[in-house]
Chains A and B, each alone.
Chain A
Amino acid sequence: MVSFVIDGKNVQAEGGAMLLNVARQNGIVIPTLCAHDTVARSGACRLCVVEVTKGKRTRIVTSCLYPVDEGIVVSTKTERVMNVRSLVMQLLMARCPESQLLKDMAKEMGIEPQPSFRVETDKGKCILCRLCVKTCEDVVGVSAIGLSRRGKDKIVGPPFMEDSVTCVGCGACAYVCPTDHIVMESTDGRRKIWGRAFRMKACDTCGRYFAPVDQLKWISKKTGTPLSELSVCLSCK
């Protein structure tokens, strides 16, 4: 156990626990977009910044990736922190002007869009937080999507933006996406995601389409369950 100070409050926590988690357990609100309990943190959205004083040095850190230490002093609401957070928010809004979530968050934090930033029109709602990439890799286990290109051209998607052969069409990436950038369209018998159309499996008992065929094949391969056992929907099981 280590003891330290957050916003003037003495707290204790397991050494090595991430600052964001400890702060939230102690009722301190820190906004985040990319932090998810199931996938490893990447510090991509930069909204969780706080100020940490360790010894004589005070600096801005991302709280989601900062392990707590004995004797540190953390401030989550100083002017410096708010300035950084506001800048991050304005940059995100300039990148994704259509995102309702960003608009709502900015309104709550009292941040206006900065008119001098050039507004991007081709980035959709993607903030490049990599949650979808990590989910595809760690939770689903297929690694069908990734980040490609560099700098301002960086985008997320399947390799070369072509139809991915490894994608199983499960939609976990769309589920986890914080800003609803990833679109998944389902019509009877077809599901479209990342530009590729997937054939859906109809339930053997009730005939309703319930999952992409490729996803069932992948589950069968991964778990060793025969495909015949997976051909019934949850309601008919």
Chain B
Amino acid sequence: MKGIVENFDLYAPKLVDKEEYFSSGHRACQGCGEALAVRLMCKGLGKDTVITNATGCMEVISSLYPTTAWKLPWIHVAFPNSAAVGAGVESALKVLRRKGKIADRDVKTVSIGGDGGSVDIGFQAISGSMERGHNMIYVCFDNEAYMNTGIQRSGATPFGASTTTAPAGAASVGNKTWKKNMPEIMVAHNVPYVATACHSYPIDFINKVKKARSVKGPAYIHCLAVCPTGWRSSSDTCIKLGRLAVETGFFPLYEVENGKYRLTIEMPKKLRPVEDYLKLQGRFRHLTPDQMKQFQERVTLEYKKLMNKVKYSKSWLEM
């Protein structure tokens, strides 16, 4: 895969697909990272794609009756079963192709969902479809809480974030638990391709989607999507926050191909302090220096754990 222009991709944007499959004019908030991420994902997938969409922001903003922002076959399903429906669509396409009822071409089934629909409610459906080895991609757009229903905490909400169901106050730091490591759980399912991505690194994200598409079997992409509304951040910092999340080591961008970990973005030799990332977001503004330190320690530990895997992991194919 071409990872060469990731540092200064000035000419690469001119060379990506110009066709838009997720049109403008949808109802996303100003500075929505998820809408941008979905647009980039569709560019990577191309025309021959069927999308199943769990309930969440993306369904609400993109399909207000009688309009739609999707130029691809798209189905909206309930909160928990995006991956289950995706698995069904994939099986149905396979059977129809075998019986000669549809043309024999490579149509990819892609299930998408927010962090609530993937990490919490839709978890068992994803686990099932990945374990059964369907030829499909699951993309989780992680904005770190149930933003659509009013910023309730989810399993992907980081430590210390103030949400409506885990509000910060005199007696509470906000969310008390750490973010669930979903990509790692997917690696444990023996999924051939798992990656983390962020809309602030568009070429990297598109490349990962293309790679996932070429895999014959299940693939999982975990995409961090900045949510200015829920993160209480200013809408013009959307791209900046995505880059800071990566550069502080809070959300490193990597891919796991058959068990082999690889960083896809050149990380700074010395990571930026996580405070740079936290102070731009209102949901963290109550954190005391002690709690910031606790946050930093956890981020450093998780990063070290990852770097250890990058250094020592080997592809299953070579074992």
Q: Which residues on A are within 8 Å of B, measured CB to CB? A: 24-25, 27-29, 36-38, 135, 139-140, 170-172, 174-176, 180, 184, 186, 206, 208-211, 215, 219, 233-235
Contacts and interface: CB of A to CB of B under 8 A. Distances in A.
A170 B11 CA distance: 8
A139 B243 contact: no
Contacts of B184: none
B10 interface: yes
Contact of A235 (B10, B17, B105, B247): B247
Contacts of B247: 235
B21 to A, nearest CB: 13
Nearest to A131: B15
Contacts of A209: 7
A139 B176 CA distance: 51
A225 to B, nearest CB: 12
Given A175-B5, A235-B243, A37 B18 contact: yes
Given A174-B2, A208-B268, 4 more contacts: A38-B15, A211-B8, A233-B7, A235-B243
13 contacts: A28-B105, A29-B106, A36-B15, A38-B14, A171-B4, A172-B15, A174-B2, A175-B4, A175-B5, A175-B15, A210-B7, A210-B8, A233-B7
Given A37-B17, A171-B5, A140 B11 contact: yes
A27 B11 contact: no
A27 B48 contact: yes
Contacts of B7: 186, 208-211, 233-234
B15 A176 contact: yes
A101 to B, nearest CB: 11
A176 B17 CA distance: 12
Contacts of B268: 206, 208
B72 to A, nearest CB: 12
A175 B11 contact: yes
Nearest to B17: A37
Given A29-B106, A208-B268, A235-B247, A172 B8 contact: no
Indicate the member of B10, B105, B247, B266 with the most A CB atoms within 10 Å.
B10
B103 interface: yes
Contact of B12 (A175, A180, A215, A219): A175
